[in-house]
Amino acid sequence: MENFNKSFNLKKIDLRSDTVTLPTDEMRDAMNNAKVGDDVYQEDPTVNRLEELGAKKMGKEGALFVPSGTMGNLLAVLTHCQRGDEVILEMDSHIYYYEVGGMSAVAGVIPRLIIGDKGIPDIQNIKLALRDENLHYPKTTLICLENTHNRAGGTIIPPMLTTEICQLAHQQNIAVHLDGARIFNAAIALNIEPVLLAKNVDSVMFCLSKGLSAPVGSILAGSKEFIQRARKNRKMLGGGMRQAGILAAAGIVALEKMVDRLKEDHKNARILGEGLADISGIKVDLETIQTNMACFDLNKSGMDTYQFLPKLAEYNILGSPRPPTKVRLVTHYGISENDIYATIKAIKEIVRN
């Protein structure tokens, strides 16, 4: 293993997440030269420009720059719902699984979970989850979707299904929020404009700081009235930023320059998945490798997640745990095709030994 490290892989290959991306030189220059003002007064010209661009990309009337995707999703729940309301979510959704229970602790709503297939909700399961009007029941006011789906491995909700779910929800006077943290990955994979993935939802959040490589920030988009209320809720959560144009400048570069290159990440994830599928002792569901993630199961290798990851780190390669026996690897800006082949070779040696 020591010879492998010295001769084959001196570079750190960080495949834990696309959140580890570093800003480009163009982003750093834009941040250094950004025109700024007080954004709480809506006087920061760079933030205003980013919000206008984000709204346009999603086909919405307005948008709001927020520090994180978690805050963006929480703001959507806060703004759409009243305390005691019920929200329908897929059971492995990021909002439910990874956002620290904020929807209940802060927004005061309760989740109603449905089972999905590779993260994709079944509209029949949504229909079954809808409650009749009853004195004893909470009011269902929101359905949350996730595209691409994190825990399912970056899978894509088909646009037609989103449309059908929105039609069903709106017939019941229920809003739909899209956690589109990686919506641009979905759009690139489908070779369509992202606006087509968001056109029927009432609100959408997307991240600038994942595959698009900006250092900070996400965008929440929706109607002008929705964004006005969300802006006040953002202030309540402590998210009112002042001269935030320094950060927004990188987000503008992200949207204008970093979207098309996501196809490179998808290609590398496919190479990685197919390479892993050829390794005895590792199981990969290639149907889930639709964007920039590759998840695999170590169950037949004799190792669990936390036995495997330290061995992988000895090769200077980092992955993300999905215990008890699964690992997630995420491709992103800064990861080359050669890095992918190095990773496949390292994993093959670990499993063989």
- The C-alpha atoms of residue 123 and residue 114 are separated, in whole angstroms, by 10
Could you read off the pLDDT of 186-224 as tens digits, one per residue? 999 999 999 999 999 999 999 999 999 999 999 999 999
Backbone torsion region of residue 115, taken as left when φ is above 0, otherwise alpha when ψ lies between -120 and 50, otherwise beta: beta
**CATH annotation of 25-257:** 3.40.640.10
Please, what's the largest Cα pairwise distance for the chain? 70
Q: How, if at all, do strands 326-330 and 293-297 pair? A: antiparallel
7, HSE (Cβ side, Cα atoms, 13 Å): 5
Could you read off the pLDDT of 277-296 as tens digits, one per residue? 999 999 999 999 999 999 99
Indicate whether 238 pLDDT > 70. Answer: yes
Q: Name the 3-class secondary structure at 17.
A: coil
Mean pLDDT of 111-121: 96
- The C-alpha atoms of residue 227 and residue 54 are separated, in whole angstroms, by 12
Taking the mean position of all CA atoms in its chain, how far away is CA 312? Answer: 25
Q: How, if at all, do strands 320-322 and 326-330 pair? A: antiparallel
Mean pLDDT of 231-238: 97
- The C-alpha atoms of residue 88 and residue 86 are separated, in whole angstroms, by 7
Q: Give the pLDDT of residue 8.
A: 52
Q: Name the 3-class secondary structure at 347.
A: helix
Could you read off the pLDDT of 122-170 as tens digits, one per residue? 999 999 999 988 999 999 999 999 999 999 999 999 999 999 999 999 9
CATH code 3.40.50.720 for 2-20+261-352: no
Q: Where are the beta strands (DSSP E) in 77-119?
A: 86-90, 110-114, 116-117
Could you read off the pLDDT of 316-339 as tens digits, one per residue? 999 999 999 999 999 999 999 999
Could you tell me the residue ranges of all domains in the chain? 2-20+261-352, 25-257
Total Cβ atoms within 10 A of residue 347: 27
pTM: 0.95
